[in-house]
Structure 1
């Protein structure tokens, strides 16, 4: 069994509202470098790649929504991993439909395919220990079992669900039969479970053969099967992505794999994992995983703590310095457009801030300051009633769509690199410290023909400067 290839299934659908303001709907936490230099998604993909510890990982199968499809490929290619298949969900329906789609897709080639399903936003520092745990779980697959992974708790955590085992795990770390799933407990219950030694944190990571999980869906969540099959059979290929058909997909219940299948399946084994793990479900977890100093303080590069204790100070902008004086049990996270300050004990309530901002119509609730596109990214520097100034960064070899606008004209000033600019029938190169004017209604395009990122400043003027004032005529990224 260990010599057989394992296909990682990476789930990228979470929005991570408890890590606002860094994590937002338009750019959630899995794509951000929260711990170390790599993003959580990149670290997850690297952990499940190559050949090691008797395991042979195939290219990952990724489930993501349309907005993140190019971020996924860009981040995988940046660390030298073949993106493999990327399935685009029409809209989020929780983990059960996504995992069933992945299993059906894999089973079309080989019903015996071994799938390792993992969220893409977890921190597991000891890759070798995790891969060894995966290897221990493979034997249970031969019996037709579904395998999940439980984390040995080191504190009475109330923010996680638990797995109750039929017996205490032994030192070998061999799979143990699952007795039942346990919802997030209160503090007293969590302390009792920690003492009992037969409870593990539910990591939400699964290992199974494609045919076995499909069979489990047919038995325990049959209503999901036909709509997912229809969505997959009607899927369309789009620039290497596989877009699941939306019509059958919208019929699906929004339900997790735990509720749909795992809590009902009798053939579930749990592999204990004793090394460090975190789902980074709040800023308190980021503080913990970042390694506080002797006074319990964690600071980022552009943050300074003076006489503070048990405090997280983090600035996400090199132009913004955060300073804390005499703080205790405080977390402060600053970005260009929003600042969070809260007591560390209220880390799980950060999502309430997102709800409050949504209620008042603040864009900061969901929109990230940098708008990531397949060709690069842009950010608004100044916005007025009839103008907007942007900084635009275009990747080497990338190009924007051939487009026009109804309500605005634009000035482009190149500040780094060289741009190839199309204005109606005229095509020319614009180099550093040169500019070009784009009249209202002209058909235009910008390309970066160089080998380095190209940066320009865009000044828009007109009655309306919203992003939806755009008509695309040609687009290499197949956007409409």
Structure 2
């Protein structure tokens, strides 16, 4: 029987290059750009064939753990484990932790595929042919990367120079890795041939990977081993020990192993791939209309060509534009030339340095929680208004507030409300008052989404004014 692959999905990044939709607390992998799935969910679908893959290990952080669990649940895709990184330490430490966990769960001869959760990939026959070629090379002890046939002299990607073909398989030797080159250098490499984009997808035999890690990056392996040995289990999550994990060097798997090992191999791949690192990349990846535009729902576009128009908030109307990105979120709008969209990060840094705009780089008006979430509608002096939504069957913590009272008005679904020792049911157009300091709880016992309007009043309205007494998500 052909060996199955253990997928390891990296889902902890906090990139802001797709601002204003992607932000530190709601990064691009968990956002729907085009279609009905997020990038993370599309990644889950790609590794869902039980004949080829085992259940995946997902590496993320504390902040995103419930987003990971909920988006997997929506697709009914089981997870082998969710590893929580206490601090960011780049990909070397994350891969080492996942490899060690895979050895525990699937055996020391397991083969893992490391893949990002925020790439756009056309999972066609060419893609799976490349994956099977990589698996076969990994089964022979090679540490495999996947090179993408370049379509332009892109400066935002790393490159790999390819050596001779390895006998007995479809993989090649790796001559060298090249960091993101200047335009002139990229054009020169494409003219010469033999250079491929570094996709950031890898295939490793666990035993060989850990052995090479011991030889070339022992500090990473030592820190990770101790962090994993002292890890704690919380619901379906494995929390790596913070003290030991923080001692790992902050380096990538490329630098830690791939650029040093003699066992590196590359599978030459022609499948459609993008790291979705800019609005320009999304425009190039998507399906454009006869005018070269990608215009998402809730937009009107006239006399405009070769542009990207997207909104997750207000209706967006664009007229007489060319080669631009116009992106609207609930509370911010970005307009800029598509060719300059790689520089959005610089703009975000400027916003983050200014007190009045720094919040725009961190959070959306809509925040997601394991039970559903809320949208901030209006903030005033000593009051604020929110839309609360609760997933069927879920409940918030039993809690109280020291500085605010709350009014709840149900607009959709059925609410089970606990106030002190009393439990009551509220239906559409019914309301309830929660006095300051009173122990209370909200639950959705129904089959449809519960939505309500919450009006908070008090001297302090911050989210940290919550004393959790009982919580099914381990947050007390």
Q: TM-score, normalised by structure 1?
A: 0.96
**Aligned counterpart, 2:339:** 345
Summarize deviations over 1:48-103 as a string: whole Å, max 9, x none: 1224xxx5211000001011111111111211211221111112111110000001
Corresponding residue number in structure 1 for 2:191: 195
Q: What is the CA–CA distance in structure 1 between the aligned matches of 2:124 and 2:58, rounded to whole Å?
A: 20
Match 2:316 to one of 314, 317, 322? 322
Q: 1:107 is matched with which residue?
A: 103
* Counterpart residue number, 1:8: 7
Which stretch shifts more, 77-86 or 268-277?
77-86
Given that residues 147 and 199 in structure 2 are in contact (C-alpha distance below 8 angstroms), is that contact kept between their aligned partners in structure 1? yes
Q: CA deviation at 1:187?
A: 1.4
SS state at 2:131 partner? helix
**Contact 2:10–2:59 (CA<8 Å) still a contact in 1?**
yes
Equivalent residue for 1:141? 138
Q: Secondary structure at the match of 1:49?
A: coil
Mapped contact 1:63–1:87 kept (Cα < 8 A): yes
Alignment correspondent of 1:254: 250
Kept in 1: contact 2:111–2:139 (CA 8 A): no
Given that residues 134 and 203 in structure 2 are in contact (C-alpha distance below 8 angstroms), is that contact kept between their aligned partners in structure 1? yes
For the 8 Å contact 1:9–1:60, the answer to whether it is kept is yes
Alpha-carbon distance, 1:191 to partner: 1.2
- Aligned 8 A contact 1:169 1:272 in 2: no
Deviation, structure 1 residue 298: 1.5
Q: CA deviation at 1:292?
A: 2.4
Match of 2:129 in 1: 132
Look up the match of 1:50. 49
Summarize the Cα distance change of 1:223–1:169 in structure 2 as closer, same or farther, 3 Å threshold. Answer: closer
Partners of 2:145 and 2:309 in 1: CA distance = 35
CA distance in 2, matches of 1:40, 1:129: 20
Partner of 1:121: 118
Distance in structure 2 (CA, Å) of the matches to 1:173 and 1:157 = 29
1:254-333 equivalences under 5 Å are 254-317=250-313, 320-333=314-327
Report the alpha carbon displacement of residue 369 of structure 1 after superposing the two structures with TM. 2.0
Separation in structure 2 between the aligned mates of residue 460 and residue 169 of structure 1, nearest angstrom: 66
CA distance in 2, matches of 1:127, 1:357: 40
Per the normalisation by structure 2, the TM-score is: 0.97
Q: Distance in 2 between matches of 1:68 and 1:374?
A: 10
Q: Distance in 1 between matches of 2:32 and 2:372?
A: 17
Question: 2 CA distance for matches of 1:69 and 1:137?
Answer: 30
Deviations 1:146-166 (A, max 9, x none): 001000011111110001111
Gaps of 5+ in 2: none
Asked if the contact 2:161–2:175 (Cα under 8 Å) also holds between the matched residues in 1, the reply is: yes
Query: Match of 1:234?
Result: 230
Count of residues paired in the alignment: 473
* Residue 209 (structure 1) shift: 1.0
* Contact 2:41 2:72 (C-alpha < 8 Å) held by counterparts: yes
Residue in structure 2 matched with residue 41 of structure 1 by the alignment: 40
Deviation at 1:129, TM superposition (A): 2.1
Distance 1:303-1:132 versus aligned 2 partners, 3 A rule: same
Answer yes or no: is 1:152 the counterpart of 2:149: yes
Q: Deviations over 1:307-362 (max 9, x none)?
A: 11221111112xx2212221122111001101001111211110112211110132
Change (3 A) 1:139 1:132: same
Within the alignment, does 1:22 sit opposite 2:21 as a pair?
Answer: yes
State the match for 2:81 in structure 1: 85
**Aligned residue number for residue 398 of structure 1:** 394
CA positional deviation for 1:143: 3.0
Residues 265 and 27 (structure 1 numbering): CA distance in 2 closer, same or farther, change over 3 Å? same
Structure 1 position 168, deviation (Å): 8.0
1: CA distance between counterparts of 2:125 and 2:234?
36
Deviates more, 1:235-244 or 1:76-85: 76-85
Are positions 1:380 and 2:379 aligned together?
A: no
Q: Is the 8 A contact 2:6 2:111 kept in 1?
A: yes
Contact 1:88–1:242, Cα closer than 8 Å, also in 2:
yes
Distance in 2 between residues matched to 1:153 and 1:59, nearest whole Å: 31
SS at 1:57 equivalent:
coil
> Using the alignment, how far apart are the partners of 1:303 and 1:193 within structure 2?
40
Name the SS for the 1:166 alignment partner: strand
Give the Cα–Cα distance (whole angstroms) in 2 for the partners of residues 322 and 240 of structure 1. Answer: 41
Instruction: Give the Cα separation in 1 of the matches to 2:98 and 2:21.
Output: 29
Match of 1:214 in 2: 210
